[in-house]
């Protein structure tokens, strides 16, 4: 479908964006549903974010996604934050509506929906999360608000450790879920927490560039633990390979990407993304 005089613009802001699958995912969906929208990607640095938002408002843009390094940097320009975005202090989807800029985070719900798609039940379960960066905090907030009973977070004991402890306290108060933060260097505690966990989530970038690295000794993995990774390239990180060898059910981050996009699509258009079509056209099987 070619753009018309009434085409609504949605886009991605961040840097780099040239590798992004989001334009293919959204434009294929618009086309399939006959929606007069068009999705583009713009390479925008942190210094240019205000100018970019002003320009998009002037152009009557419908909304936009944010990727690295803008998920926190956008917050001062948002008029209304969703509860999940406020708690996670992260925004990956914006909507211009009624003269206001509304901010949402769909990464966490994207991860939960990917688990559901993979047949993983997270309700009332105990989860261990590795890392406390943008992806991790969005997942922790969504998991806490959507029925996970306990979350153990393992994080390096560096200058941001105390702020993650504060974050965990806020989430514990805002939900029915208890969130604890531990030092990643404490292997004994990690093994103990994995023993009591139903699901492990690697939400760090360890295993992406350094493909032979994993934060979890393979002896800690056991058959009944479900092991997941936010990374989708490579399709199987060292952690997921070790987990498969230990007989665990595994899931990578591929469908987190799909479902965060589907949630954004719903915010902009009010319609469901055609999931099966997008899996077939935009997500090649591994
Ligand atoms: P981020 O905000 O920079 O956070 C990275 C986290 O990893 C931090 O908690 C960091 O620890 C931790 N970390 C990095 N190296 C480590 C190491 N050697 N040992 C222990 N911890 C380490 O990044 P992000 O945006 O959350 O992204 C994390 C990963 O998620 C990336 O691989 C990204 O591609 C992926 N991701 C996937 C999706 C998807 O849709 N599948 C969406 C978003 C992100 P410190 O806090 O101690 O620095």
pLDDT at 90: 94
* pLDDT confidence band for 209 (50 / 70 / 90): confident
pLDDT at 1: 76
Cα 196 versus chain centre, distance: 24
> What pLDDT, in 10s, does the model give residues 84-140?
999 999 999 999 999 999 999 999 999 999 999 999 999 999 999 999 998 999 999
> What pLDDT, in 10s, does the model give residues 272-285?
999 999 999 999 76
> What pLDDT, in 10s, does the model give residues 147-169?
999 999 999 999 999 999 999 99
Question: Which of 88, 138, 204 to mutate to test ligand 1, by most ligand atoms within 8 A of the CB atom?
Answer: 204
pLDDT at 285: 63
pTM of the model: 0.96
What residues act catalytically?
A: 71
pLDDT at 29: 98
Distance 231 CA to ligand 1 centre (A): 9
Percentage of the chain surpassing pLDDT 70?
A: 99
* pLDDT confidence band for 76 (50 / 70 / 90): very high
pLDDT at 210: 84
Q: Give bridge partners of residue 95 from the DSSP assignment.
A: 63, 102
């Amino acid at each position: 479908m070619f753009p018309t005089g009434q085409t609504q613009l949605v886009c991605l802001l961040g840097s780099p964006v040239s590798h992004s699958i989001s334009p293919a995912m959204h434009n294929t969906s618009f086309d399939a549903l006959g929606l007069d929208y068009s999705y583009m990607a713009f390479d925008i640095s942190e210094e240019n974010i205000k100018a970019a938002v002003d320009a998009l408002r002037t152009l009557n843009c419908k909304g936009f996604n944010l990727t690295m390094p803008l998920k926190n940097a956008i917050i001062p320009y948002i008029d209304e934050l969703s509860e999940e975005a406020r708690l996670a202090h992260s925004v990956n989807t914006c909507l211009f509506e009624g003269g206001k800029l509304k901010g949402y985070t769909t990464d966490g719900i994207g991860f939960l929906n990917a688990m559901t798609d993979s047949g993983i039940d997270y309700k009332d379960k105990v989860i261990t999360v590795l890392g406390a960066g943008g992806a991790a905090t969005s997942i922790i907030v969504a998991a806490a608000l959507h029925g996970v009973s306990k979350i153990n977070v393992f994080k390096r004991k560096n200058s941001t450790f105390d702020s993650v402890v504060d974050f965990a306290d806020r989430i514990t108060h805002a939900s029915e879920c208890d969130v604890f933060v531990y030092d990643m260097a404490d292997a004994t505690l990690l093994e103990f927490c994995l023993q009591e966990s139903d699901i492990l989530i690697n939400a760090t970038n360890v295993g992406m560039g350094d493909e032979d690295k994993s934060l979890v000794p393979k002896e800690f993995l056991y058959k009944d633990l479900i092991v997941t990774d936010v990374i989708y390239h490579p399709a199987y990180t060292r952690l997921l390979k070790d987990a498969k060898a230990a007989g665990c059910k595994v899931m990578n981050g591929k469908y987190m990407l799909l479902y965060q996009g589907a949630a954004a699509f719903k915010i902009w258009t009010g319609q469901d993304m055609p999931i099966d079509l997008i899996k077939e056209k935009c997500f090649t099987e591994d």
